[in-house]
């Protein structure tokens, strides 16, 4: 008995030397996660994954990759990223990141002119001006709004309530959305707008397909894995 | 005399860590160059590439500590020696495959390193950025000073997502509903 007790103490001591001091750094897994839509979210995550793995990736993305090589898709992404200028600019201002907001202005000016309407990104490659990644969900997080609960949308993927509300708010300044009450719209009607938005999703999705296929291999259970990784990634973006 | 002794010990202590930040950064820059040259070498098979990548990655990481942290203190202490050993074997294989799999994603991308930052309790973090054609993504390597006085990686934050924290949450979730043996079998297979 004494020997077992001795082994137990040694075991604790060894663990203490190696790992105990690290446990403060990692949060304990939450016993209860506020996820009132968990059943629905899990089903939609499964649906999205199935559609991605069996239809979108092997047929839609493969076809698109065939007609648009990586260099084209990257340029198209740069073009759409440049058009996101109003979103990053407004949200940098709202988060009082004035220097970053000014860099957004410089980037937009340089990329729209020298970068041929944004298809190239000389602001990064020539001038080293970093690209902002800001949205209204992050602005809400910056002011302490909690993430709410997870919401998974068919085809569009994982959000939380705060970020979903945030992305709806961002559409009001996103030039490719057709917004009725806005005086200036880049598109003539909502149909045109949705066509362009769908293409933006297709292009961005095709660039991230391999990442998704690789990261999903780390999941023991896909829905909580994506939920957890999503929240950690958003927390980092809010802190940045 | 006492103050001289104190200063000597104090000085010795700080000398131990002097220049560590630079040498860790240099070491990682050199290793990332080696990794890139392996990934770009199309004359060797992917399997051979993986073997060479693991040879580089293996001495940099403390996979045993990572596994222990992922499982969490309470669970780990509740395991028999045999279970611990099996777990580490399976986890090592899983994490090495996962890490090399991710390296293959970024064959043409550049990894830029900032200077490493010394933290508390003999920890050090190294901020790096993965420069893709359209984005700059954050990757943070976290090091600790082992008992053998080696700086080893115990976690990597990829785009803000900590490998250890994510596995930790997943393992805890799986062990709520499954026995340890069932969990281990699941970990041992590419289940999705």
Residue-wise pLDDT for A150-177, tens only, equals: 999 999 999 999 999 999 999 999 999 9
pLDDT higher than 70, residue A29: no
Look up the domain containing A90 and give its range.
2-239
Ordered domains of chain B (ranges, CATH): 2-188 (3.10.450.710)
The shortest CB-CB distance from A131 to any of B64, B136, B160 is to B136
DSSP string, B86-110: HHHHHHHHHHHHHHHHHHHHTSS-E
**pLDDT of res. A14:** 45
A1 pLDDT band, cuts 50/70/90, is very low
**pLDDT of res. B15:** 45
- Pair of tokens at residue A85: 């200028």
Average pLDDT over chain A, rounded to whole?
89
**pLDDT of res. B190:** 64
Give me the mean pLDDT over the B35-45 stretch: 90
With an 8 Å Cβ cutoff, is A121 touching chain B?
Answer: yes
B17 pLDDT band, cuts 50/70/90, is low
**pLDDT of res. A26:** 78
Residue-wise pLDDT for B126-150, tens only, equals: 999 998 888 889 999 999 999 888 9
Residue-wise pLDDT for B177-186, tens only, equals: 999 999 999 8
**pLDDT of res. A73:** 96
Cβ–Cβ < 8 Å for B169, B161: no
Give me the mean pLDDT over the B91-119 stretch: 89
Residue-wise pLDDT for A90-99, tens only, equals: 999 999 999 9
pLDDT higher than 90, residue A201: yes
Q: Do B77 and A121 touch (CB under 8 A)?
A: no
Q: Closest Cα of chain B to A238: distance in Å?
A: 11
Q: How many A-B residue pairs are in contact by the CB < 8 A criterion?
A: 105
Task: Residue A49: list chain B partners with CB under 8 A.
Answer: 192
**pLDDT of res. B140:** 95
Cβ–Cβ < 8 Å for A110, A132: no
Distance of CA B116 to the CA centre of its chain: 15
Give me the mean pLDDT over the A123-136 stretch: 91
**Percent of residues, chain B, with pLDDT higher than 90:** 57
Element (H, E) at A142: helix A136-142
Give me the mean pLDDT over the A218-233 stretch: 93
Q: If you measure CA to CA, which chain B residue comes closest to A29?
A: B169
CB half-sphere exposure, B13, CA atoms < 13 A: 7
Number of domains in chain A: 1
**Percent of residues, chain A, with pLDDT higher than 70:** 89
d(CA B97, CA B104): 11
More confidently predicted of B155 and B191: B155
């Amino acid at each position: 008995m004494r020997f077992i007790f001795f082994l137990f103490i040694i075991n604790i001591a060894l663990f203490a030397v190696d790992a105990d001091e690290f446990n403060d750094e990692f949060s304990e897994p939450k016993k209860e996660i506020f996820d009132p839509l968990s059943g629905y979210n899990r089903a939609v995550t499964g649906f999205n994954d199935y559609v991605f793995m069996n239809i979108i990736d092997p047929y839609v993305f493969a076809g698109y990759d065939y007609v648009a090589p990586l260099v084209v898709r990257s340029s198209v992404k740069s073009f759409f990223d440049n058009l996101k200028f109003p979103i990053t600019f407004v949200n940098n201002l709202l988060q009082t990141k004035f220097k970053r907001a000014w860099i957004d202005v410089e980037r937009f000016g340089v990329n729209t002119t020298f970068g041929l309407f944004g298809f190239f990104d000389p602001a990064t490659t020539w001038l080293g001006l970093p690209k902002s990644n800001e949205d209204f969900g992050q602005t809400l997080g910056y002011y302490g709004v909690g993430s709410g609960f997870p919401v998974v949308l068919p085809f569009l993927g994982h959000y939380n309530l705060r970020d979903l509300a945030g992305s709806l708010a961002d559409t009001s300044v996103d030039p490719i959305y057709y917004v009725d009450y806005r005086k200036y719209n880049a598109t003539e009607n909502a149909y045109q707008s949705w066509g362009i938005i769908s293409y933006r999703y297709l292009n961005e999705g095709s660039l991230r397909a391999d990442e998704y296929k690789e990261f999903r291999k780390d999941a023991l259970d896909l829905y909580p894995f994506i939920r957890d990784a999503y929240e950690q990634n958003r927390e980092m973006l809010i802190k940045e | 005399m006492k103050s001289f002794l104190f200063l000597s010990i104090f000085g010795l202590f700080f000398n131990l860590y002097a220049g560590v930040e630079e040498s860790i950064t240099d070491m990682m820059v050199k290793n990332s160059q080696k990794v890139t040259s392996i990934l770009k070498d199309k004359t060797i098979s992917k399997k051979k590439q993986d073997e060479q990548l693991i040879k580089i990655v293996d001495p940099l990481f403390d996979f045993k500590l990572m596994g222990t942290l992922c499982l969490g203190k309470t669970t780990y202490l509740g395991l028999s020696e045999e279970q611990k050993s099996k777990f580490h074997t399976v986890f090592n294989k899983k994490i090495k495959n996962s890490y090399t799999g991710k390296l293959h994603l970024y064959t043409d991308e550049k990894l830029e390193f900032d200077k490493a930052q010394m933290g508390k309790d003999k920890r050090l973090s190294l901020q790096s950025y993965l420069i893709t054609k359209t984005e700059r993504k954050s990757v943070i390597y976290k090091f600790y000073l082992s008992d053998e006085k080696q700086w080893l990686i115990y976690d990597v934050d990829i785009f803000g997502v900590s490998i250890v924290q994510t596995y930790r949450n997943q393992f805890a979730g799986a062990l709520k509903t499954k026995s340890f043996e069932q969990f281990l079998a699941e970990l041992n297979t590419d289940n999705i």
